[in-house]
Chain A
Amino acid sequence: MLILNSGGTFNKRYNPLSGYLEVPYDNYAIEAILDSFNKKYALAGVVYKDSLEMDFNDRKMIANIIVESSDDSFIIIHGTDTMKQTAEFLSEIFTDKKIILTGAMKPFEIDKIEASLNLGMSIGFMSAIAEHGVYICMSGHIQSWDKIKKNREIGKFEIV
């Protein structure tokens, strides 16, 4: 299994120089969570962006890594705003992979529980499922990407 970090709120940290929450060019949040597991996972940083800034080339970069990889299961840490868009894109290309996109509504730096829960659920689900497909794990749900969406008004993902 390969974990890919594409950024998003999950990773955001406060930059005291700019005064903003920014997506850092590192995998600190994921590594901190994985350190509590008694197991090693392959992890690679890919894009490091707020998902509203992600474009087709960023999604292509993620897809290229999956194409080149010998792994068949992937967890992608992703911003929540365009998570579904990336999931749909990947579902068009890959029919023989297990791919789970997850993220967080609040940065790991601010709320360590939500980000940890989502990544932990994703890892657990990945080892339990047999069917290939593209899934989204958010707000306590894990569903095929087309059966879950973000409700922006309440700030949660819901089953549709």
Chain B
Amino acid sequence: MKKALFLDRDGVINIEKDYLYKIEDFEFIDSIFEVCKYYQNLGYLIFVVTNQSGIARGYYSEDDFDRLTLWMIAELKKNGVNISKVYYSPHHPDISGECFCRKPKPGMIVDASKEFGIDLKNSVMIGDKERDIEAGLNAGIKTTYLLDESKSIKNSKATHIISDLKEVINADSK
């Protein structure tokens, strides 16, 4: 079975901006390419798992999301990073009802595991919110990183709290 790196999108791959859907507003976070290439070289597949309640709220459409996603995948590829698949939850419980995919539910990660045959126990999750970490834990991922650039979070279920993505490489290579 293959190992995988699961990445939240907003706040991990790109700088968090509320309900981002325009290509011109998308800014990659420093080090994301380096972190992805590190795991890619170790043989990990890379997946993006992202909550997109802006679709349920009507702030942008699935076509808007798809356009941005295609661009993001193309830019990552240009920088040597291959994304195996982007999973997204377009739901919000108050609008579209409960679902199994919106983090902290593990649906998107479980779907990736089934589709690609992923060894979740030995996979890695990186997120910037506790619900990302919980989604990883709920799916059975043991190694989780909570990115907290503001260094304000003291308690988390994550195995590591980091303030810079590069710390993932340092922690993993120990």
A interface with B by C-beta (< 8 Å): 56, 60, 63-64, 66-67, 89, 92-96
Cα distance, A63 to B23, chains bound together (Å): 15
Q: Are B73 and A92 in contact (CB under 8 A)?
A: no
Cα distance, A96 to B71, chains bound together (Å): 11
Q: Are B70 and A67 in contact (CB under 8 A)?
A: yes
Q: Chain A contact residues: over half helix, strand or loop, or mixed?
A: helix
Indicate if B67 sits at the interface (CB-CB under 8 A): yes
Residue of B whose beta carbon sits closest to that of A97: B74
Q: Are B67 and A94 in contact (CB under 8 A)?
A: no
List the 6 closest pairs (A to B, CB-CB), nearest first.
A93-B71, A93-B70, A63-B70, A56-B63, A96-B78, A67-B74
B interface with A by C-beta (< 8 Å): 23, 63, 66-67, 70-71, 73-75, 77-78
Q: Which of B23, B67, B75 has the most CB of A within 10 A?
A: B67
Question: Pick the contact of B74 from A60, A89, A94 — CB < 8 Å?
Answer: A94
Q: Are A92 and B71 in contact (CB under 8 A)?
A: yes
Residues in A neighbouring B73, C-beta threshold 8 A: 67
Q: Are A67 and B63 in contact (CB under 8 A)?
A: no
Q: Are B71 and A60 in contact (CB under 8 A)?
A: no
Residues in A neighbouring B71, C-beta threshold 8 A: 92-93
Q: Tell me, rounded to whole Å, the shortest Cβ–Cβ distance linking A89 to chain B.
A: 7
Cα distance, A89 to B77, chains bound together (Å): 18
Q: Tell me, rounded to whole Å, the shortest Cβ–Cβ distance linking A92 to chain B.
A: 6
Q: Tell me, rounded to whole Å, the shortest Cβ–Cβ distance linking B80 to chain A.
A: 12
Residues in B neighbouring A89, C-beta threshold 8 A: 67
Residue of A whose beta carbon sits closest to that of B75: A95
25 A-B pairs with C-beta separation under 8 A? A56-B63, A56-B66, A60-B66, A60-B70, A63-B70, A64-B70, A66-B74, A67-B70, A67-B73, A67-B74, A67-B77, A89-B67, A92-B23, A92-B67, A92-B71, A93-B67, A93-B70, A93-B71, A93-B74, A94-B74, A95-B74, A95-B75, A95-B78, A96-B74, A96-B78
Cα distance, A49 to B71, chains bound together (Å): 24
Q: Which of A56, A66, A67, A96 has the most CB of B within 10 A?
A: A67
Cα distance, A92 to B67, chains bound together (Å): 8
